[in-house]
Structure 1
Amino acid sequence: MRLDKFLKVSRLIKRRTVAKDVSDQGRVLLNGKEAKPSATIKVGDVLDVQFGQRTLTVKVEKLSESTRKEDVEGMYTVLKEEARKREDDLFS
């Protein structure tokens, strides 16, 4: 499954076009390497997604072409969630 589609179907990101843009900006890492929107995702892969000042690390548990809101829970496991410090805070 494509990275941008997984991000949308798993509801980590609401829209596939936004998922594509985020990947194009280099804000998604697949197993520690920068990933393009067309990168192939498989079960067991680890994704790091940067949302503004927050980074979410998840492990892919299940792939599905489409899901209902209730079924999203089993698609990934959150490994780590961390807030990054702003540049201004580093020099204070």
Structure 2
Amino acid sequence: MIELRLDKFLKNSRLIKRRTLAKEVAGQGRITINGNPAKASTVLSIGDELVIRFGQKIVTIEVIALKEAVKKDEAQNLYKVISEEKVN
């Protein structure tokens, strides 16, 4: 089974463009995995639920695949969006 860090998954899935930015977002406490605060180094598993806060938006996704290298057009196959809500 492949193990992938949170920051690398976010970059590979194109949810966050750069790995350094993914580390920053996690460091600010804006990401939870299965309800627990996540660090950039947290190892993900298939089926994990991520809640990410992007500015005025909260996105909840489920991890459905983990891959080391992903082509741009395959990136969206790594996760499923469960919900997306705007925050004031």
TM-score using structure 2 length: 0.94
Structure 2 residue aligned with 1:76, among 58, 76, 79?
79
Q: Which ranges of structure 1 fall in alignment gaps of 5 or more residues?
A: 86-92
Equivalent residue pairs, number: 85
Distance 1:53 1:73 in 2: 22
SS at match of 2:7: helix
Q: Which residue in 2 is equivalent to 1:5?
A: 8
Q: Percent same amino acid at aligned positions?
A: 48
Find runs of 4+ consecutive structure 1 residues off by over 3 angstroms.
none
Once superposed, what is the RMSD of the aligned Cα atoms? 0.5
**TM-score calculated relative to the size of structure 1:** 0.90
Shift of 1:72: 1.1
Residue 69 of structure 2 is matched in structure 1 by 66
Between the two structures, name the one with larger relative contact order (CA 8 Å, sep ≥ 6).
2
Paired letter, 2:61: V
Q: 5+ unaligned residues in a row in structure 2: which ranges?
A: none
Cα deviation for residue 43 of structure 1 reads 0.3
Q: Is residue 26 of structure 2 the alignment partner of residue 26 of structure 1?
A: no
- Does residue 1:37 correspond to 2:40, yes or no? yes
Residue 70 of structure 1 deviates from its aligned partner by 1.1
